[in-house]
Structure 1
Amino acid sequence: MAKAMTKTQLIAALAEEMGTDKKSASAALDAVSNLITREVAGGGAVTIPGIGKFYCRERPERMVRNPATGEQFKKDADKVVKVTIAKALKDCVNE
Protein backbone atom coordinates (compact mmCIF):
# COMPACT_ATOMS: atom_id res chain seq x y z
CA MET A 1 0.00 0.00 0.00
CA ALA A 2 1.28 3.46 -0.88
CA LYS A 3 2.21 5.90 1.84
CA ALA A 4 -0.48 8.50 2.58
CA MET A 5 -0.01 11.99 1.15
CA THR A 6 0.79 14.58 3.82
CA LYS A 7 -0.94 17.95 4.05
CA THR A 8 2.24 19.66 2.80
CA GLN A 9 2.41 17.34 -0.21
CA LEU A 10 -1.30 17.85 -0.88
CA ILE A 11 -0.92 21.64 -0.78
CA ALA A 12 2.08 21.49 -3.14
CA ALA A 13 0.18 19.26 -5.60
CA LEU A 14 -2.92 21.45 -5.36
CA ALA A 15 -0.86 24.59 -6.02
CA GLU A 16 0.68 22.96 -9.09
CA GLU A 17 -2.72 21.76 -10.35
CA MET A 18 -4.27 25.21 -9.83
CA GLY A 19 -1.25 27.05 -11.26
CA THR A 20 -0.97 29.20 -8.15
CA ASP A 21 1.27 29.56 -5.10
CA LYS A 22 1.23 27.31 -2.05
CA LYS A 23 -0.28 30.02 0.17
CA SER A 24 -3.38 30.28 -2.05
CA ALA A 25 -3.66 26.51 -2.32
CA SER A 26 -3.42 26.19 1.48
CA ALA A 27 -6.14 28.82 1.93
CA ALA A 28 -8.39 26.99 -0.56
CA LEU A 29 -7.85 23.64 1.18
CA ASP A 30 -8.54 25.17 4.61
CA ALA A 31 -11.69 26.87 3.30
CA VAL A 32 -13.08 23.60 1.89
CA SER A 33 -12.18 21.74 5.09
CA ASN A 34 -13.86 24.37 7.29
CA LEU A 35 -16.96 24.41 5.09
CA ILE A 36 -17.36 20.62 5.22
CA THR A 37 -16.77 20.57 9.00
CA ARG A 38 -19.29 23.34 9.66
CA GLU A 39 -21.98 21.83 7.42
CA VAL A 40 -21.66 18.25 8.71
CA ALA A 41 -21.48 19.37 12.36
CA GLY A 42 -24.73 21.28 11.78
CA GLY A 43 -26.48 18.10 10.61
CA GLY A 44 -26.17 18.72 6.88
CA ALA A 45 -24.32 16.88 4.15
CA VAL A 46 -21.72 17.88 1.58
CA THR A 47 -21.35 16.14 -1.77
CA ILE A 48 -18.15 16.60 -3.75
CA PRO A 49 -18.82 15.30 -7.28
CA GLY A 50 -16.44 12.52 -8.22
CA ILE A 51 -15.20 12.12 -4.61
CA GLY A 52 -18.10 11.34 -2.31
CA LYS A 53 -20.66 12.52 0.21
CA PHE A 54 -19.83 13.55 3.81
CA TYR A 55 -22.68 13.36 6.32
CA CYS A 56 -23.50 12.80 9.99
CA ARG A 57 -25.44 9.76 11.17
CA GLU A 58 -26.92 9.18 14.61
CA ARG A 59 -26.23 5.84 16.32
CA PRO A 60 -28.69 4.54 18.89
CA GLU A 61 -27.85 3.53 22.45
CA ARG A 62 -26.34 0.04 22.40
CA MET A 63 -24.51 -2.63 24.35
CA VAL A 64 -20.75 -2.86 23.69
CA ARG A 65 -18.01 -5.11 25.04
CA ASN A 66 -14.60 -4.14 26.41
CA PRO A 67 -12.25 -6.45 24.46
CA ALA A 68 -9.63 -6.45 27.24
CA THR A 69 -11.94 -7.55 30.06
CA GLY A 70 -14.98 -8.94 28.24
CA GLU A 71 -17.20 -6.67 30.35
CA GLN A 72 -20.38 -5.47 28.63
CA PHE A 73 -21.76 -2.01 29.21
CA LYS A 74 -24.31 0.35 27.70
CA LYS A 75 -22.95 3.04 25.36
CA ASP A 76 -25.02 6.19 25.01
CA ALA A 77 -26.42 7.32 21.68
CA ASP A 78 -23.94 9.35 19.65
CA LYS A 79 -23.24 10.75 16.22
CA VAL A 80 -20.67 9.57 13.71
CA VAL A 81 -19.36 11.13 10.50
CA LYS A 82 -19.75 8.92 7.43
CA VAL A 83 -18.32 9.18 3.93
CA THR A 84 -19.94 7.49 0.96
CA ILE A 85 -17.43 7.18 -1.86
CA ALA A 86 -18.63 8.23 -5.32
CA LYS A 87 -19.01 5.58 -8.02
CA ALA A 88 -16.63 7.49 -10.30
CA LEU A 89 -13.81 7.21 -7.74
CA LYS A 90 -14.55 3.53 -7.10
CA ASP A 91 -14.46 2.80 -10.83
CA CYS A 92 -11.19 4.73 -11.24
CA VAL A 93 -9.52 2.79 -8.42
CA ASN A 94 -10.72 -0.58 -9.72
CA GLU A 95 -9.52 -0.14 -13.33
Structure 2
Amino acid sequence: KSELVAAVALELAIPRASAADLVGLFFGAQGLIAGELKKGGSVNISGFGHFFTRRRAGRRGRNPRTGRAIRIRPSIVPTFRAGKNLKELISKTRK
Protein backbone atom coordinates (compact mmCIF):
# COMPACT_ATOMS: atom_id res chain seq x y z
CA LYS A 1 0.00 0.00 0.00
CA SER A 2 2.86 2.40 0.78
CA GLU A 3 4.27 1.88 -2.73
CA LEU A 4 0.89 2.77 -4.22
CA VAL A 5 0.68 5.89 -2.04
CA ALA A 6 4.17 6.96 -3.15
CA ALA A 7 3.32 6.38 -6.83
CA VAL A 8 0.06 8.35 -6.58
CA ALA A 9 1.81 11.21 -4.77
CA LEU A 10 4.52 11.35 -7.43
CA GLU A 11 2.16 11.04 -10.41
CA LEU A 12 -0.30 13.68 -9.16
CA ALA A 13 2.34 15.90 -7.51
CA ILE A 14 0.44 15.93 -4.22
CA PRO A 15 1.62 15.42 -0.62
CA ARG A 16 1.93 11.82 0.57
CA ALA A 17 -0.76 12.41 3.21
CA SER A 18 -3.26 13.42 0.53
CA ALA A 19 -2.25 10.45 -1.60
CA ALA A 20 -2.69 8.13 1.42
CA ASP A 21 -6.21 9.50 1.94
CA LEU A 22 -7.02 8.96 -1.73
CA VAL A 23 -5.70 5.38 -1.76
CA GLY A 24 -7.46 4.65 1.53
CA LEU A 25 -10.73 5.91 0.08
CA PHE A 26 -10.68 3.05 -2.42
CA PHE A 27 -8.54 0.30 -0.90
CA GLY A 28 -8.68 0.86 2.87
CA ALA A 29 -10.52 -1.40 5.33
CA GLN A 30 -13.31 1.20 5.46
CA GLY A 31 -12.93 2.15 1.79
CA LEU A 32 -15.38 2.04 -1.08
CA ILE A 33 -14.38 -1.40 -2.35
CA ALA A 34 -14.47 -3.07 1.08
CA GLY A 35 -17.78 -1.38 1.86
CA GLU A 36 -19.40 -2.69 -1.30
CA LEU A 37 -18.05 -6.21 -0.70
CA LYS A 38 -19.37 -6.16 2.89
CA LYS A 39 -22.84 -5.43 1.51
CA GLY A 40 -22.54 -8.45 -0.79
CA GLY A 41 -21.98 -6.35 -3.90
CA SER A 42 -19.14 -6.23 -6.37
CA VAL A 43 -16.92 -3.54 -7.88
CA ASN A 44 -15.92 -3.54 -11.54
CA ILE A 45 -13.10 -1.21 -12.62
CA SER A 46 -13.26 -1.23 -16.40
CA GLY A 47 -10.05 -2.47 -17.98
CA PHE A 48 -8.50 -3.30 -14.60
CA GLY A 49 -10.57 -5.97 -12.94
CA HIS A 50 -13.51 -7.10 -10.88
CA PHE A 51 -13.67 -7.36 -7.07
CA PHE A 52 -16.37 -9.68 -5.71
CA THR A 53 -17.05 -12.16 -2.93
CA ARG A 54 -17.11 -15.91 -3.20
CA ARG A 55 -18.45 -18.51 -0.81
CA ARG A 56 -15.91 -21.16 0.24
CA ALA A 57 -17.36 -24.49 1.24
CA GLY A 58 -16.61 -26.03 4.59
CA ARG A 59 -13.97 -28.72 4.56
CA ARG A 60 -11.82 -30.93 6.71
CA GLY A 61 -8.29 -29.82 7.52
CA ARG A 62 -5.47 -30.57 9.93
CA ASN A 63 -4.03 -28.59 12.79
CA PRO A 64 -0.37 -28.22 11.69
CA ARG A 65 0.91 -28.36 15.29
CA THR A 66 -0.95 -31.40 16.52
CA GLY A 67 -1.91 -33.17 13.31
CA ARG A 68 -5.49 -33.55 14.58
CA ALA A 69 -8.30 -33.39 12.04
CA ILE A 70 -10.39 -30.24 12.30
CA ARG A 71 -13.50 -28.92 10.61
CA ILE A 72 -13.04 -25.66 8.71
CA ARG A 73 -16.30 -23.72 8.51
CA PRO A 74 -17.71 -22.28 5.28
CA SER A 75 -16.72 -18.67 4.72
CA ILE A 76 -17.14 -15.75 2.38
CA VAL A 77 -13.86 -14.48 0.92
CA PRO A 78 -12.97 -11.45 -1.22
CA THR A 79 -11.86 -12.32 -4.75
CA PHE A 80 -10.30 -10.38 -7.62
CA ARG A 81 -10.43 -11.29 -11.29
CA ALA A 82 -8.07 -9.33 -13.54
CA GLY A 83 -9.62 -7.59 -16.54
CA LYS A 84 -8.70 -8.16 -20.17
CA ASN A 85 -6.52 -5.03 -20.45
CA LEU A 86 -4.54 -5.87 -17.31
CA LYS A 87 -4.00 -9.46 -18.47
CA GLU A 88 -2.80 -8.28 -21.90
CA LEU A 89 -0.45 -5.73 -20.34
CA ILE A 90 1.12 -8.34 -18.09
CA SER A 91 1.46 -10.95 -20.83
CA LYS A 92 3.20 -8.42 -23.13
CA THR A 93 5.61 -7.47 -20.33
CA ARG A 94 6.64 -11.08 -19.68
CA LYS A 95 7.43 -11.97 -23.32
TM-score under structure 2 length normalisation: 0.76
Aligned length in residues: 89
Partner of 1:90: 87
Paired with 1:57 and 1:64, the residues of 2 have a C-alpha distance of: 20
Secondary structure, counterpart of 2:40 in structure 1: coil
TM-score under structure 1 length normalisation: 0.76
Secondary structure, counterpart of 2:77 in structure 1: strand
Partner of 2:73: 76
Out of 43, 49, 58, which is 2:55 matched to? 58
Higher deviation after alignment, 71-80 or 26-35: 71-80
User: How many percent of aligned residue pairs carry the same amino acid?
Assistant: 33
Out of 15, 22, 43, which is 1:28 matched to? 22
Higher deviation after alignment, 78-87 or 56-65: 56-65
| Residue segments in structure 1 that go unaligned for 5+ positions in a row | 1-5
User: Once the 2 structures are TM-superposed, how far is the Cα of residue 18 of structure 1 from its aligned partner?
Assistant: 2.0
* 1:18-56 deviation digits (Å, cap 9, x = unpaired): 232222211110111211111112211111222211111
Partner AA of 2:15 in structure 1: D
